[in-house]
Amino acid sequence: MEETSDRLNPGITPEFDPKTMRSTKPGLKRLFITTSVLFSFLLGVPFLWKSVEIYRSPLPFHDIDSLSDQIESTPLRFPCNFHAVFVGFPSTDPDNLRSQIQDGINQLTHQNSQCGSCNFSLSVTVQNRDDQCSETLAHSSTTCSYRCGVIKRNVFGVGVDDTVDESLNDVFSGCSEESGKVYSVVVVNKENANGGDEVKAVVGKRRHAWIVGNGLEERYGDMVARVSEIFVKVFMTGGRDEDSIQGEFMPVGSDGRIVLSFSLLNSNPRDWVYDWDFQRIDEALLAPVTKALAPIANISVESQVLYHTPKSSFSSWDKKLQSYIFRTSDLPFFVNSNEWHLDTSAGASGRSKILQFVVYIPSGKECPLLLQLPNGEISKTNGFISPMWGGVIVWNPGNCDKDSESPSRNTISPQDLEQIVEIFLGQFRQLFGFKSEAIYTSGLGTYKILPSERGFTEWELDVLSRKHTCFNLHSCSTTLGSLSRLVRSLPRMIIKDEIGEQVKYSLKAAKLAQSNASLGGYSSSASSSREARSLAENAFFHPSIMSVSYFSYEHCFAVYSPFFLPVAGHVVLAALREWRRYKQEKAKYLTWLTRKKTA
């Protein structure tokens, strides 16, 4: 019925309910505005993400791991060449001798390849009484072949050891670097009828040693044993105890520098005041030592004179010796750090090692002051060392009476200064792990060791280079390993470019050191290993690696959410609301359209 009435009245529109219908198409403007704002926000998200990205310089973790594995698994060995010359022996088979010596050496090294030991190649030459030679050569090394007959038996035992050393040096100095240095031992059999039975063994200043004796052709076994001992105990390990604790006798700072700080302590300047001409001894006596040790450490020297520096231990008067005695039990209490302001170095950076060498001049009340050793003897050097710290020498002024008037100002005489420097060099050697005596004693006998004016003989420098290369490489690899573990455990820590570069250069230097070592360049491998270690330490101790200052994810969220969350919330909600509204209006419009159609 309604339909009819509707058709009869065309002017009447269909029922219009504004709540569910709308007559015009809903506009898109509002939706467009809100979604465009939302879209621009979304566009900005990648930029925000990029801006909070942590910059981490890529570290070569794989290379670091492989370096440490390499160093752990294969201890570094250096090529050395051993050459034994037997002079004055009847023609013997050198191959036999060679195998005997080789067995002896292997026995002494127990086949344990410790880091820094020698991958040796042995050659033996026998020169008989008529100066004819028969020799075995480990490999065809033509530059180092020994010219027969050059060594004359009459040189030995006649002159002073130093002249013998010089003459031997002329013989063996022709060897140039091939793969490693050549160490030679000359065994001389003299035919002195009235000579005694004693066998003298001397180790020279360069890389040769000699044994002289009578009737040695009877005692081949003995000679072979002594030759092997010289090769292993002296040339390979430097006369040091093999079980010396690693690191205790390596006083090189982690930046490869040592600062030698010399102090002259006037304990009571009211009694007397002493001064010294340090410049002179620095130039004349210390400079050669510094230069000799250049591949191992960059050494700088400084000196100071201090006043009013009493010691903190006590000494007792000994009537028999007519002097004041302090004992070894007093030594830990000797250094009075409260009043001895030794550590005032201006030149040492944070990671250098400072070695303090102190010359202590006792006061008038304790003059002369002597050190008594546990066995009751009086120490001839009147000094002591402390590993990794330095050494102290007590120097007594020649005349212990003091003037009751003004204190005398004196300068230490050059001769006394020379003696003091000699003791310093002995202490310096001890700080590096060498013995300060000039004799090496073993079960087979004693060997006299000739000292060098540079403080260290060449073979000792070789030993130092090898040991320090080992230590530096080991330290470098552990440092880099620690650094890589640390970096991997903190994924949001900033790693600067500088650190990445230092790690890269450190790895490069370590590889260079290893290749130099395999080629036999002891000092070059020592200096590149030193560089590797110092770069690794710089990278590890870089001040930017502080765990407090890295941004964890929670931190990042907590920083940015107060800015973006409220605004983003509003924008998203607005867009959603507009979208919903649009859909509603669209539905209303569609309803109206269908209504109109059906009407």
Partner 1 sequence: MKILLILGLLLCYSFVSSSGDTTIHTNNWAVLVCTSRFWFNYRHMANTLSLYRTVKRLGIPDERIILMLADDMACNARNEYPAQVFNNENHKLNLYGDNVEVDYRGYEVTVENFLRVLTGRHENAVPRSKRLLSDEGSHILLYMTGHGGDEFLKFQDAEELQSHDLADAVKQMKEKRRFKELMIMVDTCQAATLFNQLQSPGVLAIGSSLKGENSYSHHLDSDIGVSVVDRFTYYTLAFFERLNIYDNASLNSLFRSYDPRLLMSTAYYRTDLYQPHLVELWRPFILIQLTKPSQVKSPIVRAIPRCHSINFPSTMQTSQMMS
Report the interface residues with partner 1, using CB under 8 A.
241, 244-245, 247-248, 284-285, 312-313, 328-329, 331-333, 335-338, 343, 345, 348-350, 371, 373, 377, 379-381, 383-389, 418, 421-423, 425-427, 429-430, 435-438, 451, 453, 455, 479, 482, 485-486, 540-543, 545-549
Q: Is 209 helix (H, G, I), strand (E, B) or coil?
A: strand
CB atoms within 10 A of CB 188: 25
User: Which of 489, 469, 546, 470 lies closest to 61, judged by CA?
Assistant: 489
User: Which of 229, 303, 220 lies closest to 260, judged by CA?
Assistant: 303
Comparing CB distances to partner 1, the nearer of 232 and 348 is 348
In whole angstroms, the minimum distance from the beta carbon of 502 to partner 1 comes to 14
b or e along 535-548 (b: 16 or more beta carbons within 10 Å of the residue's beta carbon)?
bbbbbbeeeebeee
Judge contact between 294 and 305, C-beta under 8 A.
no
What sign does the CA torsion over 111, 114, 115, 116 have? negative
CB atoms within 10 A of CB 131: 14
In whole angstroms, the minimum distance from the beta carbon of 389 to partner 1 comes to 4
Q: What is the Cα–Cα distance from 454 to 467, expressed in whole angstroms?
A: 19
In whole angstroms, the minimum distance from the beta carbon of 520 to partner 1 comes to 29
Who's near 379: CB < 8 A, 6+ residues apart? 370, 371, 372, 373
In whole angstroms, the minimum distance from the beta carbon of 432 to partner 1 comes to 12
In whole angstroms, the minimum distance from the beta carbon of 421 to partner 1 comes to 7
In whole angstroms, the minimum distance from the beta carbon of 508 to partner 1 comes to 23
Q: What is the Cα–Cα distance from 138 to 120, expressed in whole angstroms?
A: 10
Comparing CB distances to partner 1, the nearer of 46 and 350 is 350
Comparing CB distances to partner 1, the nearer of 103 and 242 is 242
Judge contact between 10 and 547, C-beta under 8 A.
no
Q: What is the Cα–Cα distance from 442 to 448, expressed in whole angstroms?
A: 11
In whole angstroms, the minimum distance from the beta carbon of 356 to partner 1 comes to 9
Comparing CB distances to partner 1, the nearer of 451 and 500 is 451
Comparing CB distances to partner 1, the nearer of 137 and 392 is 392
Helical spans, DSSP H, in 187-268? 220-229
In whole angstroms, the minimum distance from the beta carbon of 275 to partner 1 comes to 21
Comparing CB distances to partner 1, the nearer of 23 and 312 is 312
Instruction: Concatenate the DSSP letters of all residues of 384-424 into one string.
Output: EEETTTEEEEE---S-----SSSPEEEE--HHHHHHHHHHH
Bridge partners (DSSP) listed for residue 134: 126
In whole angstroms, the minimum distance from the beta carbon of 249 to partner 1 comes to 9
Q: What is the Cα–Cα distance from 115 to 518, expressed in whole angstroms?
A: 12
Comparing CB distances to partner 1, the nearer of 120 and 278 is 278
Comparing CB distances to partner 1, the nearer of 76 and 417 is 417
Judge contact between 533 and 254, C-beta under 8 A.
yes
Comparing CB distances to partner 1, the nearer of 78 and 334 is 334
- What does DSSP assign to residue 146? P
In whole angstroms, the minimum distance from the beta carbon of 538 to partner 1 comes to 10
- Residue 109 has which token pair? 């090294």
Comparing CB distances to partner 1, the nearer of 422 and 585 is 422
Residue count of the chain: 599
